[in-house]
A = this chain, B = another copy of it.
Amino acid sequence: MLHSLLVSLVILAAVVSLVQADPPKVVLAIHGGTAGPRSELSPELEKLVRADMQRALEAGHVVLNKPDGTALDAVEAAVRVLENSPHFNAGKGSVFTHEGQIEMDASIMDGSNLKAGAVASVTVIKNPITAARAVMDKTRHVLLIGRGAEVFAAKAGLETVDPAYFWTERRWNQIKKIWEREAKERAEAKQARADSAADEPWGTVGAVARDARGNLAAATSTGGRTNKMYGRVGDSPIVGAGTYAENGVCAVSGTGEGEFFIRYAVGHDIATLMKYKGLSLDAATTEVIIGKLQPAGGEGGVVSIDAEGNFAAPYNTPGLYRGYITADGKSKVMLYED
Contact = CB atoms under 8 A, between A and B. Distances in A.
Top 8 A-B pairs, shortest CB-CB distance: A148-B231, A148-B230, A276-B276, A240-B265, A272-B272, A265-B268, A276-B277, A143-B233
Contact of A140 (B115, B195, B244): B195
A182 B283 CA distance: 52
B152 A231 contact: yes
Contact of A239 (B114, B148, B194, B262): B262
A272 B263 contact: no
A17 to B, nearest CB: 34
Given A268-B240, A269-B272, A229 B263 contact: no
Most buried by B among A141, A259, A276: A141
Most buried by B among A115, A146, A194: A146
Nearest to A195: B140
Nearest to A233: B143
Given A141-B232, A273-B276, 5 more contacts: A140-B194, A142-B234, A147-B230, A152-B229, A238-B262
Contacts of A276: 272-273, 276-277
Interface of A is mostly: mixed
A8 interface: no
A242 to B, nearest CB: 11
Contacts of A116: 262-263
Interface residues of A, number: 46
Interface in A237-283: 238-241, 244, 258-259, 262-265, 268-269, 272-273, 276-277
Nearest to A266: B240
Interface of A: 109, 114-116, 120-121, 139-149, 151-152, 194-195, 228-234, 238-241, 244, 258-259, 262-265, 268-269, 272-273, 276-277, 296
A272 B69 CA distance: 34
A144 B233 contact: yes
B139 A231 contact: no
A121 B140 contact: no
A300 to B, nearest CB: 14
Given A142-B262, A195-B140, A268-B268, A147 B240 contact: no
B262 A231 contact: no
Given A272-B272, A276-B276, A233 B265 contact: no
A120 B263 CA distance: 16
11 contacts: A116-B262, A140-B259, A141-B228, A141-B234, A145-B146, A152-B231, A238-B240, A239-B262, A268-B268, A272-B273, A272-B276
Contacts of A258: 142
A111 to B, nearest CB: 11
Contacts of A109: 263
B263 A231 contact: no
